[in-house]
Amino acid sequence: MVKMLHSKEVSFIWDILNEIPDPEIPVISLVELGVVRGVEWIDTQLQITITPTYSGCPAMRMMEMDIEQSLRKEGITDFKIVMQYHPAWTTDWMSEVTKSKLKTYGIAPPQAHTKQRIGALISDAPTEVACPQCNSVNTKLISEFGSTACKSLMKCNDCLETFDYFKCI
């Protein structure tokens, strides 16, 4: 009987959240991005735990609104969205499937593990980032700060296209 308090199973909620696209990279969902950290029923209230990608990412508010809207559409009105800072969001949480979706979309996915990338205080141009258009690794970094907080701007020396590279953090 206790179970009947909630009309929706936790796994069902995860499925709903997995259908919400990232506002800036619509080919991946908020779950794939790693923003959603937890889904839990506390008595009759649904608690969704999220973590920010970047501290000042302007899309965070949008993500919260999208989550709210999707839940309401399913008839869930008693919920709380909690912001969690620990553990800090990392691109290491992205699966290979997610990375390949980014690549198909034209964004070079984050390379390697952050442990190998964070910490260099002078020059740290990522090496061998493949161009998402032509796959050439003859690419160069133009700026570590790109069109959104999470991306760097790179250029392919072969096909001459500029492209976004998802930063490793």
Partner 1 sequence: MNNQTSLFQYILKIADNQLILGHRLSEQCSKGPFLEEDIACSNIALDLIGAANSLYIYAAAIEGANKTEDDLVYLRSERAFRNVLLVEQPNTDFAYIMCRQFLFDTYDYFFQQALQNSNDQTLAAIAAKTLKESTYHLRHAGNWIIRLGDGTTESNMRLKNAFNNLWCYVEELFEQDAAELDLVAQGIAVDAQSIKSQFYSHIAEIMQTAGLEIPSGIFMQSGGKKGVHTEHLGFLLAEMQSVHRSFPGVKW
Number of residues that bind partner 1 (CB under 8 A): 28
Question: How far is residue 166 from each of residues 18, 74, 90, 111, 143, measured CA to CA in Å?
Answer: 20, 33, 11, 8, 12
Residue with the two structure tokens 């161009």: 131
Q: Which of 76, 81, 159, 169 binds partner 1 (CB under 8 A)?
A: 169
Question: Which residue number, 53 or 101, has a Cβ lying nearer to partner 1?
Answer: 53
CA neighbours closer than 13 Å in the CB half-sphere of residue 61: 2
Smallest separation, CB 148 to partner 1 (Å): 8
Query: Which segment (13-21, 25-33, 95-103, 118-126) binds partner 1 by CB under 8 A?
Result: 118-126
Which residues are at the interface with partner 1 (CB under 8 A)? 52, 54-58, 85-89, 118-124, 142-147, 149, 153, 167, 169
